[in-house]
Amino acid sequence: MLFSSSIFLFLFLPLMLLGYYGPCRLFGRWSRPVQNLLLLVGSLFFYAWGEPWFVLVMMASILVNYGFGLWVSACQERGRSTRAPIVLSVVCNLGLMFVFKYLTFVLTELGRLGLSLTVPVIELPLGISFFTFQAMSYVLDVNRGRGSVQRNPLKVGLYISFFPQLIAGPIVKYETVAEEIDTRRENWADFSSGVCRFLVGMGKKVILANQLAVVADFAYGRPAGDLSTGMAWLGALCYTLQIYYDFSGYSDMAIGMGRMFGFHFLENFNYPYISRSVTEFWRRWHISLSTWFRDYVYFPLGGSRVDKRWKHIRNLFVVWLLTGIWHGAAWTFILWGLYYFVLQALEKFCGLGRGWPEGLKWLFTFFLVNLGWVLFRAESLSVAIPYLTAMFTPAGGGWDGYATLFLTDNLPILAAALLFSAPVAPWLGRKAENWTGVPALVRDVVYPLLLVALLAVSASFIVKGTYNPFIYSNF
């Protein structure tokens, strides 16, 4: 879709920045409301460009949750229970997601059980899981006193629809930006760091993720009988790196764009592939989603502070089942979520990995994460199971010409992806600070030149129209 492409973003973002820092600043004390209005209108236009009808779904979500926020606030002011508006808001938001995202899947599965049902064709609004969870966060945070209710529906609309993180995250909880909607302070330091962050994220997506996707898509598209063990492992590794650089790249771009407009989003990835346990991995991977489920599901259920072990296990099960379902309407996603439930239960209650050497912990965790991504990537169980079988049973041979060709052609990209999945850049930055005379040179000359080169290379890939998959269509 054009609106999610880098080319459209290159045209859209400068126009938004020009209006934000140009004409909007001429309105004196009304500058902030005008800037917020520009961001809201621009965000709705951004979404409507590729989803002209589904923008109405988003606007309905905004208005409904605006009303629920007022209802919660009114109950609090009168000393009444907020249970009714909270329950109804959850039902309405999840009901919206269910109709668009899960109804077809449920009816199809019921049909396989012998029920005669008409299965409608329902197109999925892009990013519905992201903006629905943000809408729920608004009402829940108002209820918890983590943010003030917004009397102006345009401000609620801006929070839910803000274009940088609208279609691919991170999920921004209302408490994170509640104050910044009105009181943010733009400055050159934030703007310049935002530009740098945006360029790094774009490089991750365009240069690394898109090239790794070619290998992964070939491997997952091969018939299971023709897939060698070497090609299966190479494809799995490339997808493991692809999804990290794709998702973290989008998050970097969103965080960078937010900073350009004065918003400070929390980090979404923290080098997850250096983790030495599955629990640590989920503290580092898609942090905004894991903290959302932690704060709004796991803690309210009691978390780990319960009097019975079975309750703790139940809480983990609920969170991971919902995590799998959130990602998409397919058995592969559900089993992927339950796979992590089993792994975390084994770590917490059976001591899996406890006492192992650190290197072995990392290798085992990375191995388990790779297997999990096979379930996540496969279009169905009929694809996932033969693929996993090929990784351990050389029915198609141990190594073939395809594996050699793809490894040879993509070795520099694969090596760079593996290298930078570890915190190499921060390590180099810390080293540079200890070198006499170097920090100023790095900051003022070398680093900007590297970013210019990154922009040039990324732009060349975009202009050439290289393979540019969008892997969040299920979300």
**Identity of residue 253:** M
Percent of the chain with pLDDT over 90: 60
At 321, phi and psi to the nearest 5? Answer: -65, -45
Cβ within 8 Å of residue 421, ≥6 positions away: 241, 244, 271, 273, 274
Residue 442: band (very low, low, confident or very high) from pLDDT cuts 50, 70, 90:
low
Report the catalytic residues: 327
**Identity of residue 357:** P
Express each pLDDT in 64-89 by its tens digit: 999 999 999 999 999 899 999 999 99
- Radius of gyration over alpha carbons of the chain, in Å? 23
Cβ within 8 Å of residue 436, ≥6 positions away: none
Express each pLDDT in 184-211 by its tens digit: 999 999 999 999 999 999 999 999 999 9
Q: Which of 85-89, 152-156, 438-442 has the lowest mean pLDDT?
A: 438-442
Express each pLDDT in 30-53 by its tens digit: 889 999 999 999 999 988 887 788
Q: How far apart are CA 186 and CA 383, in angstroms?
A: 49
Chain centroid, CA 2 distance in Å: 20
> pLDDT at position 103, please?
92
Q: What's the whole-number mean pLDDT along residues 296-317?
A: 92
